[in-house]
Amino acid sequence: MKTKSIIFSGLLLVTLGAATTSCEDMLSVEDELHTTNLAPQDTVYQLMGIVNRMQSLVDRTVVLGELRADLVDLDPTVAKTSLQDVMSNNIPTDNEYNQISDYYAVVNACNVYLNYVDSNYVSHNRKHFEKEIQAVRVFRAWTYLELAKMYGQVPFVLDPVLNSGDADDILANASNRADMNQICTYFINDLKPYASKVIEMPDFGDMNGMTSSMFFIPARLMLAELYLWRGCFTQNQSDFVEACRYYHDYFCYTNKEVTTGTTAVTWGDRRMRNTSGEYSITEDRIAIIPLDTCAYDGTWSELYGFFNSQFENNYYVPVVPSKRIRELSQEQIWCGYFEEMGNRDTIYSTEKVEWEDSLEMGDLRLQAVYDRSQVSDRYTDRFAKDRQHIMKYATSRSNEGPDSKLQSFTIFRKNIVWLHFAEALNRAGFPETAFAVLKYGISPSTMSNFVSRVERNNLYDVSTYFLGSLYSWSSTAFVDKHSSMAAQPNVTVNMQGVHSRGCGDSYYNKYYVLPRDAAIWAESDALQILSDSLNKRYAAVSDEHDIHIIPEDSLDYYYANYRGIIEEEYNSSRNTWTDYVYVYESDSDSIALNQLYQDINQTSYNLRQAQDDAYRASVPLYQAALEKMILDEEALEGMFEGYRFFDLMRYAMYYNDPDFIANQVARRKGAAEYDSRADALKGGKWYLPLP
């Protein structure tokens, strides 16, 4: 059965009003309800009816998430008034993108389902509706989180609204309003029972080329998001730790691991003449909302025409990339690592003097998704000659052919979720691991080679619910191309630093590093010299006594990566040295050998302690630097998809800075020009007015 047929057939006969401005209509209902008799064979229609209601939220998610932020601008000559009001942050209650009733339509549909479904109905020795009940609970949590992001405080309704009298009572009760903290807390507790269960997503087969299981949001992922948002709202570090646990368990679910993938757009050669590779968000999808492509069949989206030239808009595009995203993209330094004929070379985009196109400077993701062209004068002035395609929405770069509509909208995708994980890690106190997400990609080799011993120990201490510690990542499921596993047969490389999606091989990028404070590490510098001296003595004594057990000295390696820690290989070698001394303790040189061993042992201990202390002192420095790095990466990876305003909101909440969003949005026209439309956001005026 086609998607649109199932959705259209499954319309719930519960309505919460159309686009209205009165408070009463916000929760209006039909007195006659036909959806409370949920027979087992009908539940698929009820569930798809909820999905159908979510379709109406797609356009406003992107419009309110992008147009109020700093990565896009409007062409006022072609943009309709409702879009201009959103861009100016002057959004009245009758604006088509400020219709809270559509959110409550989803909420009420979920409440009806959960209230009337037979949760104890057993079929084939299992609870028949367990998958569906979980899916509906997650839908309700997602919708309420969206309401909190859009409106701040909203009526909190968990029972079906069956008649207009119920709606009046709810609106008259001012005590039933819930904010971000209350909403997140309720749904964290509501979804926790599903965190450790093996419950698959509902799956009704492929529909119009889409896998129906992707219509639903995984519970563990939703829990992680709720903890992340609550942590930002309350500035409570323990919430970020919990978010890390749930992200980890979602990524590591056995046989369903979620990796970053390795798709990227890059320069094809060292001369940086042509870009190559692939930058795809289609393969990146986790959860989607299927859309109808014809207004007659259901809810269809206008987003394609907002971002892309087509006949329907006379090829004039209202939404264009801002100067801010251009500047941010150009600020990045692309790094290329080449190994040819046994020669290794690392080059950087800053080395290229003449550029064919400013979009090719720095990060290449903007160039990959922003296509511009011009057509000849064969058209009349009615049609625009400058054409634009944003490839996150377009199906083709061609200006010819029929107009298009979106077939689906992605509400969660992998690399965005990995960046949210980095946010949570950094604020939970694990900045090196957060940085690994950006630069290397999480894998066992990354955790061993680029995360300090003290942070790894802290990660060990934070156990997860059923998949081990935050340090644990499967060596066969999470593989980066620089690990030893990459060369093994039947092993797929599937991890990379998210920054590599558009900035080349960030693994080798000497400019993309954590900061280091010279004062904090000065003592470690002195101990490094002492340790080097002892290592030389160790080697000399070993040679004199024909001992060929020279330890693998990882000090320089780790120190260069802001670690400077003696690792297990060093410990192992010291143990071997101890065995040698014990066997030859009658030798005349045993005293000297033992003294050298004791000196190395003490220096090793001192160095560890000093490096650990230096790391702990550096954590705030690391965290501050990473806040900006992660926020910039979220912009480069998520531009034009509706994330930006809400990314800024999380940071503003966490910093407790009412003007943070306004200060960012003021740079929409570039660093040299102040965008006064941002003034409407000052003082924490981030939320839409309730009707």
State in Å, rounded, how far the first CA of the chain is from the last one: 39
108 Cβ contact list (under 8 Å, min separation 6): 14, 16, 29, 157, 160, 161
3-state secondary structure 638-684: HCCCCCHHHHHHHHHHHHCCCCHHHHHHCCCCCCCCCCHHHHHHCCC
Q: Is the pLDDT of residue 293 over 80?
A: no
What sign has the CA pseudo-torsion 465, 467, 468, 473?
negative
Residue 632's pLDDT is 97
Residue 199's pLDDT is 67
Reported as a single tens digit per residue, the pLDDT across 137-156 is 999 999 999 999 999 999 99
* For residues 503-530, average pLDDT: 81
Residue 570's pLDDT is 41
- Dump the DSSP string for 312-368: GGTT--SEEE-HHHHHHHHHS--EEEEEETTEEEEEEGGG----S-GGGSS-SHHHH
* Percent of the chain that is helix, strand, coil (3-state, to 5): 50, 10, 40
Residue 335 burial (CB count, 10 A): 23
**Confidence band for 411, pLDDT divided at 50, 70 and 90:** very high
How far is Cα 256 from Cα 286, in angstroms, rounded to an integer?
12
**Using an 8 Å Cβ cutoff, are 155 and 168 in contact?**
no
* Cα→Cα distances 480→83, 339, 500, Å: 43, 18, 12
How far is Cα 686 from Cα 664, in angstroms, rounded to an integer?
13
Least confident of 216-225, 332-341, 682-691: 332-341
Amino acid at 340: E
* For residues 471-500, average pLDDT: 91
Dihedral angle at the C-alpha atoms of 137, 141, 142, 148, nearest 10 degrees? Answer: 160
How far is Cα 422 from Cα 405, in angstroms, rounded to an integer?
34
Reduce the DSSP state of residue 62 to 3 states and report it.
Answer: helix
Residue 437's pLDDT is 98
Residue 153 burial (CB count, 10 A): 15
pTM above 0.75, yes or no: yes
| Residue 278: its H or E element | strand 275-278
How far is Cα 538 from Cα 221, in angstroms, rounded to an integer?
51
Q: What are phi and psi of 321, to 5 degrees?
A: -60, 140
Residue 580's pLDDT is 43
Least confident of 181-195, 345-359, 365-379, 468-482: 345-359
How far is Cα 175 from Cα 584, in angstroms, rounded to an integer?
81
Reduce the DSSP state of residue 510 to 3 states and report it.
Answer: coil
Residue 520's pLDDT is 80
Among residues 261, 285, 264, the alpha carbon closest in space to that of 275 is found at 264
Residue 174's pLDDT is 72
What sign has the CA pseudo-torsion 515, 519, 523, 527?
positive
* For residues 537-556, average pLDDT: 43
Reported as a single tens digit per residue, the pLDDT across 353-385 is 566 668 888 999 999 999 988 887 655 678 888
Amino acid at 469: S
Return the structure tokens found at 560. 């260069």
CA-based angle 451:417:177, to the nearest 5?
A: 120
**Confidence band for 529, pLDDT divided at 50, 70 and 90:** low
What is the Cα gyration radius of the chain?
28
* Cα→Cα distances 209→135, 206, 289, Å: 21, 6, 13
Q: Which residues pair with 289 in a beta bridge?
A: 409
* For residues 201-215, average pLDDT: 77
* For residues 527-545, average pLDDT: 57
* For residues 221-231, average pLDDT: 98
* For residues 58-82, average pLDDT: 96
Q: Which residues pair with 339 in a beta bridge?
A: 344
How far is Cα 368 from Cα 267, in angstroms, rounded to an integer?
12
* Fold adopted by 3-229: 1.25.40
Among residues 493, 482, 501, 483, the alpha carbon closest in space to that of 334 is found at 501
DSSP 412: E
Least confident of 78-87, 196-205, 303-312, 334-343: 196-205
- Every domain of the chain with CATH number 1.25.40.390 lies at 3-229
Q: Is the pLDDT of residue 561 over 90?
A: no
Reduce the DSSP state of residue 285 to 3 states and report it.
Answer: strand
Average pLDDT, the chain: 81
